[in-house]
Structure 1
Amino acid sequence: MKLNKILVIAILFGSLVSCKKDANNIDDDLKEPIFYYAGYSFTNKYSERDRKAVLVVQDSVIKLSPSQSADAKTVHAQGKDVYVGGSQYTEGNKTRVAYWKNGTIEYLSGAAQNNTATAIYAENGNIYVAGTVYQDNRPYQRLWVNGEQKVNSGALQFSGICAITVYDGAYYLAGQFAQAASIWYGTTMQTINNAPSEATFIHVENGEVLTMGYGNVDRNTDAAKVWKGTDEIFSHAIGARVSNILATVNGNDYYFVTNSISESGINVAKVYRNTQLLYELSTHGQSVRAMSITISNNKVYILGNILNAGKSIPTLWTDGTPKALFTEQDNIYLNHLYIQ
């Protein structure tokens, strides 16, 4: 990535909160890929409502909501444009579904408790934002394309859209409906696994829909799963119940990172390729929550947060090797990673 591209991004998004490097002194020979992270800064504890949405481009922190509490949940980049989905607080505990394009905020919903964007995607100048909106305390799943509502499903608990992809001009969504892994194509929703289960990744190639996530096996274990269309084609029990499984695909290999709670009560994250356990993100008794997995240039990148007494150390693992992106003192929590 060249110097002028970094400066253009900084100008588009406004002032930087903090920089590990001075944006004016970034080496001109800095190479792609470009790393984008969505998250928030906080004052005392990462679980507090008082948070400010941020976008991190490489290692520069950019304020998205400097004067109003907000959370950035998901990020996607296309060309020179960067899109971030999340929520912004209004009065009380109410939030509106929002997204930022190059730092400019747009609102997609009214205000209710827990309204938020959950996935974002852009292609050929079109912006796809999935989210959850609450009416009478019941969740409804939404998809907006260029601000126009296209999907309206609900309203059962444990429902939401986790991932978006576009193929041949049509959108495909993956998530959970009534605690069961589900996919959406246009206005049609299909359940692909019995509850409890969830789909967190979707990919379409040559018209075939590949979806990844997890499904319950029994009271003691869940399994990483892959579905082609509505047919299960892969299942691997991981020996524990999970809070979620994040997934991606690389060629003929399936990659999963599982989030679960140990017997001692800490967050544990483990990484698998197909049926092989590759490594564990938690070391020395640390509590780790994995947030995102992606593969770029055949390297496996996992974003997570090391958690300790309300503090967070956002960390990027590259093929299992951790690199702290911020310190506990920076008070940053990161939700999502996109690599361009």
Structure 2
Amino acid sequence: MRITTRYFVSYVGLAEVALGASLLFFACSKSKGIGDDPIQEKQVDIYVVGYTGPLNGPFTAQYWKNGELIKLTDGSTRAIVNDIFVEKGDVYVAGTITITGKGERAVYWKNGQRMDLAEDQGVYTRASAIGVAKGKVYVAGVENADAVYWVDGAIHRLPSSDDYTLSPYFAIHVTDKEDIYIAAMVTKSVPHIDDKVQVVKYWKNNVEHIVTSPVKHHFGHVGGLFVDGEDIYIAGNYQNSGGIGWAKYWKNKEEYTLTENVSGGRAYDIYVKNGNVHVIGSGQGAMPLYWKNGKEKPLEMKGKGYGSFNAIAVHNDDVYIAGTVSNDDGDWDIGGYWKNGKWHALETAKKDNYTTVTSMFIVER
């Protein structure tokens, strides 16, 4: 990503969601890759974070640095990690673990050491995104159904102008000037019908900003946030009760539709560089898709059964997409990433073992 100001996004991977059908995509045909920008080989460190284990857990939290596996938990408890940030050689990972007698609790790890986050009045807390600015650690998440964030472990609540309930999907951005951006979709049930009403919001320095007017769908989520100067980009989707989805992104308050009224239409992450808007998600039949400026770009699948795209980063002219692939029978998932459309596996397949990749971070050496 960048070395100074950190732009980062996170797909929140609760196990029931991340291992569900909405993230399992049928294979696309082999291609020559992304290929619009000239490919330049750069010396970078590639960090990919996720969790692995049997289908129903427990899961081991882990990340890879240039293919080397670093485990954060030993697999004896349920652990889910959702975002990674690297600052001056220190590695920060945000996630949620199950603590005996307390249930789900938000935590983060710094260089492998677990840091518990403060609680206010919650039955549970969950951490979904993390960033560091001027030595302070910022984590976004939820306590019960309230939007919260932590600064160096201390909990703060996000203000709301309505009585909507927060979706458990977040994106966060922290600048070097310590401007904090948090984006999410909020929802409210509509009496007597199956649909709900969604609104996309972001908070800058604890001040609420409404992006969309209320839209009536069964479900929706924000998958990614990117701040480019004065422009705010948010990726996400709406979905009806039958799984039909609309993958979209918003630039400030202007809406762009990537898929319309298709089964599996989703948008999971966004990255903007040199005026080019990069989005990952899925289309018809949950087919994994990558869009550059609204146009689909192919990625290499090599006959694999299905895949998931969960995070994207652009460094110089190289496009990195982190995710997983599986076999046709769906009895394993392995983590890895695509660089300029070419697949790089980070592990070998093991029957009945499932890896969920949730975020990535690129650091130039």
Indicate the residue corresponding to 1:142 in structure 2. 148
Q: Which runs of 5+ in 1 are unaligned?
A: 1-29
Structure 2 distance, partners of 1:68, 1:223, is 34
Counterpart of 1:85 in structure 2: which amino acid?
A: A
- 2:322 is matched with which residue? 303
Which of 258, 276, 281 aligns to 1:253? It is 276
Matched, 1:125 2:144: no
Q: Does 1:291 align with 2:310?
A: yes
Compute the displacement of 1:149 (Å). Answer: 1.9
DSSP 3-state at the match of 1:50: coil
Residue 116 in structure 1 maps to residue 126 in structure 2: yes
* CA distance, structure 2, for counterparts of residue 159 and residue 88 of structure 1: 16
**Residue identity opposite 1:251 in structure 2:** N
Is the deviation greater in 317-326 or in 217-226? 217-226
Q: Deviation digits for residues 231-250 of structure 1, max 9, x if unmatched?
A: 21644445625244321111
Shift of 1:260: 4.7
Q: Counterparts of 2:326 and 2:125 in 1: how far apart (Å)?
A: 25
Counterpart code for 1:245: Y
Q: Is the 8 A contact 1:182 1:198 kept in 2?
A: no
**Any unmatched runs of 5+ in structure 2?**
1-40, 188-197
Higher relative strand content: 1
Cα RMSD for the two superposed structures: 3.0
Q: What is residue 254 of structure 2 aligned with on the other side?
A: 232
Give CA-to-partner distance per residue, 1:127-182, whole Å, 9 cap, x none. Answer: 11011222xxxx22211111122334577153542222326322111122224321
C-alpha contact 2:50 2:358 (8 A) present in aligned 1: yes
Kindly state the Cα deviation for residue 210 of structure 1 after the two structures are TM-superposed.
Answer: 1.5
CA contact (8 A) 1:192 1:227 kept: no
Map 1:165-176 onto structure 2 (within 5 A).
165-166=174-175, 168-176=177-185
What secondary structure is seen at the aligned counterpart in 1 of 2:232?
A: strand
Matched residue, 1:49 = 57
1:327 and 2:333 equivalent? no
Query: Following TM superposition, by how much is the alpha carbon of 1:199 offset from its aligned partner in structure 2, in angstroms?
Result: 3.6
Name the % identity.
20
**1:15-50 CA-partner distances (Å, limit 9, x unpaired):** xxxxxxxxxxxxxxx9731111211231xx3x3221
1:286 positional shift: 2.0
Residue 279 of structure 1 pairs with residue 290 of structure 2: no
TM-score by length of 1: 0.77
Instruction: Report how far residue 275 of structure 1 moved.
Output: 2.2
**CA, structure 1 residues 295+260, in 2 after alignment: closer, same or farther (shift >3 Å)?**
same
Give the counterpart of 1:201 among 212, 224, 227: 224
Q: Which of 85, 91, 100 is residue 76 of structure 1 equivalent to?
A: 85
* Cα shift readout 1:211-250 (whole Å, capped 9, x = no counterpart): 221355999652432322xx21644445625244321111
Q: Is the 8 A contact 1:167 1:204 kept in 2?
A: no
Cα pair distance change 1:35/1:235, threshold 3 Å: same
> Counterparts of 2:301 and 2:261 in 1: how far apart (Å)?
17
Q: Does 1:214 align with 2:204?
A: no
1:101 equivalent in structure 2: 110
Per the alignment, residue 49 of structure 2 pairs with: 38
The code of the aligned residue for 1:62 comes to I
Query: Does the 8 Å contact 1:75/1:82 carry over to 2?
Result: yes
Q: Is the 8 A contact 1:160 1:177 kept in 2?
A: no
Q: Which has the higher contact order (CA 8 A, sep 6+)?
A: 2
**C-alpha spacing 1:252/1:316, structure 2 compared with 1 (3 Å):** same
- Whichever residue aligns with residue 56 of structure 2, its letter is E
**C-alpha separation between the residues in 2 aligned to 1:113 and 1:328?**
37
Structure 1: how far apart are the matches of 2:260 and 2:269? 13
For the structure 1 residues 114 and 247, does the alpha-carbon distance in structure 2 shift closer, same or farther, using more than 3 Å as the test?
farther
- Classify 1:63/1:269 alpha carbon distance in 2 versus 1 (closer, same or farther; 3 Å): same
